[in-house]
């Protein structure tokens, strides 16, 4: 699956739709000897993926605004890739002062859930 450009592109589009995003366009590339990278551009921003089939790994980023629900995209991708493990990091971005405009809200893996600090926000950038 991680080396199948057509399947990865279809799955990424399904994930965008599941999240409630509006697809604008997409572009994907298969590397030789293996691996796929691609982007689905949505009105709300974009989803990107990079795969390393030789080690059974895929990295996905979903940048969004508006009413999208990125967690729904995660569910679609987790199931579609038949993943055994995952790491999910939710980061709030904004237009605040430099050094305070990006906060880790939640960090979860299948092995151990890690929640943000009691304040609900942990700075990622300083």
Catalytic member of 26, 37, 50, 107:
50
Task: Give, as one character, the DSSP assignment of residue 75.
Answer: H
68 is catalytic: no
Phi then psi for residue 12, to 5 deg, are -65, -40
Catalytic member of 26, 45, 48, 107:
45
45 is catalytic: yes
**How many CA atoms, within 13 angstroms, populate the side-chain half-sphere of residue 115?**
4
29 is catalytic: no
Residues taking part in catalysis: 45, 50, 65
């Amino acid at each position: 699956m991680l080396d199948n450009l057509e399947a990865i592109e279809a799955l990424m589009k399904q994930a965008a739709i599941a999240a409630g995003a509006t697809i604008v366009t997409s572009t994907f590339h298969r590397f030789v000897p293996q691996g796929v990278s691609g982007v689905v551009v949505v009105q709300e921003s974009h989803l990107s993926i990079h795969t390393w089939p030789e080690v059974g790994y895929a990295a996905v980023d979903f940048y969004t605004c508006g009413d999208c629900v990125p967690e729904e995209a995660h569910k679609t991708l987790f199931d579609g890739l038949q993943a055994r493990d995952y790491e999910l990091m939710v980061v709030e971005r904004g237009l605040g002062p430099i050094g305070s405009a990006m906060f880790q809200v939640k960090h979860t893996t299948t092995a151990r859930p890690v929640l943000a600090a009691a304040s609900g926000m942990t700075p990622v950038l300083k």
